[in-house]
Amino acid sequence: VKVIGLMSGTSADAVDAALVEWPEGPAPRPFALLAYREEPIPAELRARIHRLAAGRVPGPEALRELARLDVILGERFAAAARAVADQARVPLAAVAAVASHGQTVAHHPEDRATLQIGDPSVIAERTGCTTVADFRPRDVAAGGEGAPLAPFFHFAVLGDPREGRGVLNLGGIANLTWIPRDATPEDVVAFDVGPANALLDGVVATLSGGAESCDRDASLARRGRVDGALLARLLDDEYLRRPPPKSTGRERYGLAEAEALVAASRACGRGAEDLLATLVRFSAEAVAGACRELLPGAPRPDRLLLGGGGARNPALCAALREVLPGVPIESMDAAGVPADAAEAMAFSLLGRNALLGLPNHLPRCTGAARATVLGEIVPAGPGQSFATRPSSATS
């Protein structure tokens, strides 16, 4: 079954599109990534999304702007789906479904409210493909936080009958999915470990007055030395010790913290290279500490699979190898999941499972009361039917 997964993150930089071929039956493996691409979102549209999500559209216009962007993003998502099918030389008529995460413009689990836009009716109409979307609201309706959803994908495609595996996504924040050897869905644990690129990038941006956005190839961090006293202070962190489920973000490990660290380093004459080297080590130690202290049974991972932009940071990879001696650390690519394509592939699987009537989230990770099927299905057009439960079909 060929399913296109679409993902647009909160940064609204680009739509990621992945066309994956899944088995016909319920098993998720073997799978094959047929094509992957990123469709940039133009700056003007990105600015409108951020303006809406930040609540800066005045009340009288807010709903209309929301409804407009819902359609405009639906068109963009449809175009991204068409483009990735073209790239794979697969006709859309051979694609079983498009599965779209949507663009999050509000997420308030405390109000049981999460809102993604990018109208799936537009995607279905423009592609002629069955479209699945709005995954998070169903998890929230079932008592969950609506997040994280990626661990289901990690479990399904990266779990192993002989190895306990950690899947570490190094985006702005480091997210860890722990999949014990031969795990059931209930065995999987996933949480936000602590800082990754958000803090490192924030320091570089602060040091350069905004001229640089990241430490390319870790050229600064690799020249620095770890400051043991600073590292100890950083590791004395309430968040790192808190047991999962837990999540964090840039409000804790972002620009504000980076500015404070740069100011303190300047005050004591610590160089930029040393600060960055220490922060790289901090991120790595947070991961090692999480493995030691927060995973049930304090397992030593048999393997760590890396994804996200941080997987290409040589200093961070080296630090992880130092703090987790003897643990094989490699990119998800080795398991058939190119790190850049992982999120879009995850929604491809979630959508495929929705079509098959298979659960597609991990209640232990999201907090949902029970496993159900996330997603709303928009038919491609006439001639498709949806099998309701036997009890109702025969009533």
E strand intervals along 118-270:
130-133, 165-170, 173-179, 189-195
Q: How far is the CB of 152 from its own copies (least distance, A)?
A: 13
CA distance 270 to 8: 38
Closer by beta carbon to its own copies, 3 or else 218:
3
Phi then psi for 331, rounded to 5 degrees? -75, 150
Closer by beta carbon to its own copies, 110 or else 238:
110
Closer by beta carbon to its own copies, 26 or else 314:
26
Look at residues 199, 205, 209 and name the one whose alpha carbon lies nearest to residue 234. Answer: 199
| Cα Dmax for the chain | 78
Closer by beta carbon to its own copies, 320 or else 374:
374
CA distance 82 to 361: 27
Closer by beta carbon to its own copies, 152 or else 191:
152
Q: Which amino acid type is present at position 15?
A: V
Asked whether 20 and 32 are in contact (CB, 8 A), the reply is: yes
Report CA torsion sign: 108, 99, 157, 174.
negative
Cα–Cα distances (Å) from 122 to 79, 112, 118, 230, in that order, read 11, 26, 8, 52
Q: How far is the CB of 98 from its own copies (least distance, A)?
A: 11
- Tokens 């999941």, residue? 337
Q: How far is the CB of 72 from its own copies (least distance, A)?
A: 9
CA distance 113 to 116: 10
Q: How far is the CB of 391 from its own copies (least distance, A)?
A: 5
Closer by beta carbon to its own copies, 96 or else 262:
96
